[in-house]
Amino acid sequence: MKKPATSGIKIVKNLLLVVFTFVLVVAIFSSLYSTAPAPKQVNLSDLANNINAQQVAKITVSGNTVDATLKDGSLIETQKETETSLSDTLKNYGVDPKTLSAIPLNIQGESGWQYWAGILLPTLITVLIIGAFFWFTFRQAKAGANQAFSFGKSNIKLFTAFKDRATFNDVAGLKEAKQELMEVVDFLKNPKKYLDLGAQIPRGVLLLGQPGTGKTLLARAVAGEAGVPFFHISASEFVEMFVGVGASRTRDAFATAKRAAPSILFIDEIDAVGRERGAGVGGGHDEREQTLNQILVEMDGFEKDAQVIVLAATNRPDILDPALLRPGRFDRRVVLDLPDINDREAILKIHARNKPLAKNTELRQVAVRTPGFSGADLANLMNEASITAARKGRKEVIQDDLYDSIEKVLLGPERRSRALSIHEKEITAYHEAGHALVAASLKHSDPVHKISIISRGQAGGYTLKLPAEDIHLKTRKQFLADLAVAFGGYSSEEEIFKDLSTGASNDLQIASDMARKMVVKYGMSEKFGPITFGKTEELVFLGKEISTERNYSEQTALEIDKEVENIINKAHEAAKKIIHQKRKVLDALAKQLTEKETIEKEEFDLLIKKFGIKQGEIA
Ligand code: ADP
Ligand code: MG
Ligand code: ZN
């Protein structure tokens, strides 16, 4: 709210208006009272002289003012005394009554409209001006008050009326995300189909992904495809200066969506309010927290068959409050990855639609050079290319314009994601291939689902392993296998480049934590056996460790460190051995990764089979 500043400007405006009106009125008055050329002011004796000299053609008396028109056409004016009549006065000045009676005398009574206007108008106008001033001031104050009362209303927007409608055709790649959302849309279109089978309509779908990966775009596409009312609000709009506004806006937004059911409510950038709430640590009943609570309440409050689906988007899933992610709220999560080479090409194609490209441009070559670019970066790239072409006076965008734009986007201030250089790409490929190869070789490791060298969060790439079945308990052998896999990337870099990169630091941290927990928490070390060390205070309901109290001696601490080191060294050795023995497979994997950037499970299985490796051959 910028109230003080604007109201200051308004008061000045009103004052100007009043002054202007005043000037206008004065102007009107003066023109009213001086229609004729101004008469010459004389005194009574001059008038008497003129009459005696037979110069006067006509006399007009109005009130005390005497106007005389002379025979030469000029006007003179004088004042007479109030009480006496003009003829008496003139007689006293020595005018012959006969001469006087020969002049037409016109007496205008002052009781005419002019008289009243002369008295009333000034008063009336003063009253009007003051009235107008008050009216303006009050109206303004009232507007302010109304604004204050409408704070609790969300400025929720109905999306269907949006100018730039998007459909799924405008979204390249993101196959899984699209599929998931299509399902949700179908739920809303044909609820009976699902309800008859006893299925419950999902309440919330959370879109997760780095900035520029197309979360908002995808939501807009859903709006375009859904055929149901689609409401859109940015979470930051919930929160205002005044406490309690967020909560009531949330209520209002949900109420609006419910009234229009079946409908979709899209809350963009939900991390603005969905941050993890403090657990009484460092206090915190702030506005955001209340807003979040209200969202939770509203989502729980949907009746079983309420046909409102809440879509939300965030690029910071790590800071979201766990309560938001509980079943019954945002129980579906859709991850939007940075695009791989094929997706990048498809995105470039979409954004090249309305741009004249030269015949020999190859968007594929641009895609090859832009690993790590987000969809937004690529859209920006195409735009920059057009600008460059226009500036150089070309009618078409040529390949060099595209290449030049890569650098521009890379250096631009907006740039958030990072691109890999050719060498980095190679290191990352070998690193991830190392993880995957070790995971595939060990019996107790989870099978590999997907490998990618497109960065995700802080890591250069990632290898996704998923357990074949749900597990609730984890065994010592599984821990050891996971440790070895964690060292797969590190060992691969060692083996190939005889050097190490910072890319492995996260792996090492995870490995160290895991090894230490095995020793102090799970009693899984050979040396100490079934004993735990340290007392960890946990915030049970949040599952967060706050502090660890040490309840053992320095001596023991030293031995624990040694045991952790021991476990880690063994894991490292195991990984090293696998990497060294299967160097050929590693090379092949890394090569394919460099080319394609992502390898799905089927391709991966095929490739290791070709080298005669069976999933989990090493116990
Ligand atoms: P965010 O994930 O930060 O909400 P946006 O949805 O706002 O990202 O994406 C910004 C822009 O980037 C979009 O308007 C679109 O032009 C482009 N874009 C991003 N991802 C894609 C994609 N998969 N296909 C086509 N364009 C995309
Ligand atoms: Mg967005
Ligand atoms: Zn790694």
- For residue range 321-360, what is the model confidence (pLDDT) as tens digits? 777 777 778 878 888 888 888 899 999 999 999 899 998 8
Higher model confidence: residue 376 or residue 82?
376
Centre of ligand 2 to C-alpha 336, Å, is 12
State if residue 484 touches ligand 1 by the CB under 6 angstroms criterion. no
- pLDDT above 60: residue 544: no
By the 8 A CB rule, do 567 and 482 touch?
no
Centre of ligand 2 to C-alpha 581, Å, is 46
Average pLDDT over residues 64-68: 81
Nearest CA among 266, 271, 376 for reference residue 314: 271
Q: What is the pLDDT of residues 578-590, one digit of tens each?
A: 999 999 999 999 9
Centre of ligand 2 to C-alpha 375, Å, is 12
Centre of ligand 3 to C-alpha 618, Å, is 21
Residue 432: how many other CB atoms lie within 10 Å: 27
Ligand closest in space to the Cα of 168: 1
Tell me the average pLDDT of the chain: 80
- pLDDT above 50: residue 3: no
State if residue 334 touches ligand 1 by the CB under 6 angstroms criterion. no
DSSP code of 442? B
Centre of ligand 3 to C-alpha 365, Å, is 28
Nearest CA to ligand 1 atom 25: 171
- pLDDT above 80: residue 136: yes
Q: Is the dihedral of CA 350, 355, 361, 365 positive or negative?
A: negative
State if residue 172 touches ligand 1 by the CB under 6 angstroms criterion. yes
- pLDDT above 70: residue 415: no
Q: In ligand 1, which atom is closest to the CA atom of 207?
A: 2
Alpha carbons 517 and 515: distance in angstroms, whole number: 5
State if residue 217 touches ligand 1 by the CB under 6 angstroms criterion. yes
Nearest CA among 537, 534, 514 for reference residue 525: 514
Centre of ligand 2 to C-alpha 268, Å, is 6
State if residue 375 touches ligand 1 by the CB under 6 angstroms criterion. yes
Percentage, residues of the chain above pLDDT 90? 20
State if residue 214 touches ligand 1 by the CB under 6 angstroms criterion. yes
Centre of ligand 3 to C-alpha 434, Å, is 8
Nearest CA to ligand 1 atom 6: 214
Ligand closest in space to the Cα of 208: 1
By the 8 A CB rule, do 156 and 252 touch?
yes
Q: What is the pLDDT of residues 236-278, one digit of tens each?
A: 776 655 566 777 888 888 888 888 878 888 888 888 776 666 5
Write the CA distances from 163 to 166, 169, 224, 549, integer angstroms.
9, 17, 11, 59
Burial grade of 47 (CB within 10 A; 0-12, 13-18, 19 or more): buried
Higher model confidence: residue 152 or residue 488?
488
State if residue 211 touches ligand 1 by the CB under 6 angstroms criterion. yes
Centre of ligand 3 to C-alpha 543, Å, is 26
Confidence of residue 418 (pLDDT cuts 50, 70, 90): low
By the 8 A CB rule, do 455 and 418 touch?
yes
For 536, phi and psi rounded to 5 degrees?
-100, 130
- Classify each residue of 65-104 as buried b or exposed e, where b means 16 or more C-beta atoms within 10 Å of its C-beta: ebbbbeeeeeebebebeeeeebeebbeeeebeeeebeebe
Q: Which residues are catalytic?
A: 432
Element (H, E) at 79: strand 75-79
Residue 303: how many other CB atoms lie within 10 Å: 9
- pLDDT above 50: residue 501: yes
Query: What pLDDT sits at residue 263?
Result: 84
Average pLDDT over residues 394-401: 91
State if residue 314 touches ligand 1 by the CB under 6 angstroms criterion. no
Alpha carbons 155 and 539: distance in angstroms, whole number: 37
Nearest CA to ligand 1 atom 17: 376
10: which 2 tokens?
């308004």
Nearest CA among 377, 391, 342 for reference residue 363: 342
Element (H, E) at 78: strand 75-79
Q: In ligand 1, which atom is closest to the CA atom of 171?
A: 24
Centre of ligand 2 to C-alpha 417, Å, is 15
- pLDDT above 70: residue 538: no
- Residue to probe by mutation, ligand 1, list 171, 178, 213, 217, most atoms within 8 Å of CB: 217
Q: In ligand 1, which atom is closest to the CA atom of 377?
A: 12
Alpha-carbon torsion, ordered 59, 62, 66, 70, to 10 deg: -30
Partners of 58 in the beta sheet? 69
Centre of ligand 1 to C-alpha 178, Å, is 13
Nearest CA to ligand 1 atom 5: 214
Nearest CA to ligand 1 atom 9: 214
Nearest CA to ligand 1 atom 27: 375
Nearest CA to ligand 1 atom 18: 375
399: which 2 tokens?
């390949």
- pLDDT above 60: residue 151: no
Partners of 314 in the beta sheet? 208
- pLDDT above 50: residue 542: no
- pLDDT above 90: residue 529: no
Ligand closest in space to the Cα of 409: 1
Ligand closest in space to the Cα of 378: 1
State if residue 216 touches ligand 1 by the CB under 6 angstroms criterion. yes
Nearest CA to ligand 1 atom 7: 216
Alpha carbons 144 and 146: distance in angstroms, whole number: 5
State if residue 213 touches ligand 1 by the CB under 6 angstroms criterion. yes
State if residue 212 touches ligand 1 by the CB under 6 angstroms criterion. yes
Q: In ligand 1, which atom is closest to the CA atom of 336?
A: 2
State if residue 434 touches ligand 1 by the CB under 6 angstroms criterion. no
Among 9-18, 394-403, 520-529, 561-570, the least confident range: 9-18
Higher model confidence: residue 10 or residue 490?
490
Residue 145: how many other CB atoms lie within 10 Å: 10
389: which 2 tokens?
């072409």
State if residue 215 touches ligand 1 by the CB under 6 angstroms criterion. yes
Alpha carbons 86 and 75: distance in angstroms, whole number: 18
Query: What pLDDT sits at residue 2?
Result: 38
Ligand closest in space to the Cα of 164: 1
Confidence of residue 143 (pLDDT cuts 50, 70, 90): low
By the 8 A CB rule, do 344 and 370 touch?
yes
- pLDDT above 60: residue 130: yes
Query: What pLDDT sits at residue 56?
Result: 83
Average pLDDT over residues 464-481: 75
Higher model confidence: residue 601 or residue 155?
601
- pLDDT above 60: residue 124: yes
Q: Which DSSP string corresponds to 503-563?
A: GGHHHHHHHHHHHHHHHHTS---TTT-S---SEEEEETTTTEEEEEE--S-HHHHHHHHHH
State if residue 338 touches ligand 1 by the CB under 6 angstroms criterion. no
